[in-house]
Amino acid sequence: MSKAEIKTTPIDWTQYFQLVMKQHTLQRYQQDLHLDRLLTTRPRICIDAKGADWHILGKPSPTNSVFLHYQHTKKNKRLLTVSVNGQQKLIPWYEDQSIWDSCWSSFLNKFVILADNRLYTYDDEIITSDSMQRIEAVKPKRDKMEFLRCACSDETLFITYDERNSSIDEYNMSSWTIAHRHENIIKQNEIIISIAISEMNSNLIGMTILNERHNWHFELRDRSMLLISSVQLDNSEFNRRLISLSNSSMNWLIIHTGSAFFTILDETAQGKRMIQCAENIDLATYFAKENCIVVLTQKSKLNFFDL
């Protein structure tokens, strides 16, 4: 495993926080994290999730303490809610669209579901067909382009594309209009594989980025997409997905798919360390309120660990 090289843009963090606090409310609720439990303890809950070619674990709802779990095969697409207590509920998904990401919107009080070239909202508290709504106004910027990832905070939704050197589309969810299209923020040979908003500071956005030589790096940006810090990771053909945790010294968790390791970065991406799990992992999601991480292993087990 290669050593990380950290390249930073000099910035006065005191002035920065004074500036962004005028724009968005900082989230400073902090949890104690004991990530060593991923290696030293048994999971509180273990769910068999075998049978899918690939999975998507969305960001959980703090309201109902559930996340969306999408399981994809060529013949079948399954979408479920999974609670922090391991309860599962099947959601009808009759679309020809595959799901690539989902996140919880506290502004809408609904899940946002990103499919191939469509966006949906899902209300878990409605049991009729109206629970799933397609947002017609959200479309790729060109024909035959496909979406890849999404993240939201307050009224803002960010969407990335399954294409190199593509833009990040920023939508205002109150009107479903494009507030800004962030062009040319990555290099020609790079693609954004994961995007997340900090659990500690909603003014900070993290991304994992891949180039054509399978080199990975993490970027920390502000809400205007100004680059704050860049951290070189490793070289791998496997994905490096990203989630945020409720701790300033362990704020960014990078999932090393195909291995038993996470990379942990602090809030400002200045400090880095590795965390080992008991077995190889594919994905993870995090219940911030309950301080519980859910890990999908390469053996297709959903393991719940209280941190």
Encode pLDDT of 213-259 as tens digits. 999 999 999 999 999 999 999 999 999 999 999 999 999 999 999 99
What pLDDT sits at residue 74?
86
What pLDDT sits at residue 127?
81
User: Quick check: is 13 in a domain?
Assistant: no
**65 touches 111 (CB < 8 A):** no
CATH number at residue 181: 2.130.10.10
Proportion of the chain above pLDDT 90, given as a percent:
84
As a dihedral over the C-alpha atoms of residue 154, residue 110, residue 84, residue 49, rounded to 10 degrees, the angle is: -120
Q: Specify burial of residue 228 (Cβ count, 10 A radius: 0-12, 13-18, 19+).
A: middle
* Beta pairing partners, 81: 68, 89
168 φ, ψ (degrees, to nearest 5): -110, 120
User: Quick check: is 173 in a domain?
Assistant: yes
Q: What is the DSSP letter of 53?
A: S
Q: Specify burial of residue 213 (Cβ count, 10 A radius: 0-12, 13-18, 19+).
A: exposed
What pLDDT sits at residue 17?
44
Proportion of the chain above pLDDT 70, given as a percent:
91
Q: Specify burial of residue 296 (Cβ count, 10 A radius: 0-12, 13-18, 19+).
A: buried
> Cα(80)–Cα(82) distance, rounded to whole angstroms?
6
Average pLDDT along the chain? 91
Helix H segments across the chain? Answer: 13-21, 37-40
Dihedral of alpha carbons 16, 207, 176, 64, sign: negative
User: Quick check: is 2 in a domain?
Assistant: no
Sheet holding 156-161, edge to edge: 147-153, 156-161, 168-172, 177-182
Output the pTM of the full model: 0.89
What pLDDT sits at residue 240?
98
pLDDT tier at 75, thresholds 50, 70, 90: confident
> Cα(9)–Cα(22) distance, rounded to whole angstroms?
22
> Cα(281)–Cα(289) distance, rounded to whole angstroms?
23
User: Quick check: is 104 in a domain?
Assistant: yes
Question: Is 178 or 4 the better-scoring residue by pLDDT?
Answer: 178
User: Quick check: is 186 in a domain?
Assistant: yes
By residue range, what is the domain housing residue 294? 27-306
**Side chain identity, residue 165:** N
Q: Could you give the number of structural domains in the chain?
A: 1
Tell me, rounded to whole angstroms, the distance of Cα 13 from its chain centroid. 25
User: Quick check: is 19 in a domain?
Assistant: no
Tens digit of each residue's pLDDT (9 = 90 or more) over 133-179: 999 999 999 988 999 999 999 999 999 999 998 899 999 999 999 99
Tens digit of each residue's pLDDT (9 = 90 or more) over 92-126: 997 889 999 999 999 999 999 999 999 999 999 88
- Percent helix, strand, coil in the chain, to 5, is 5, 50, 45
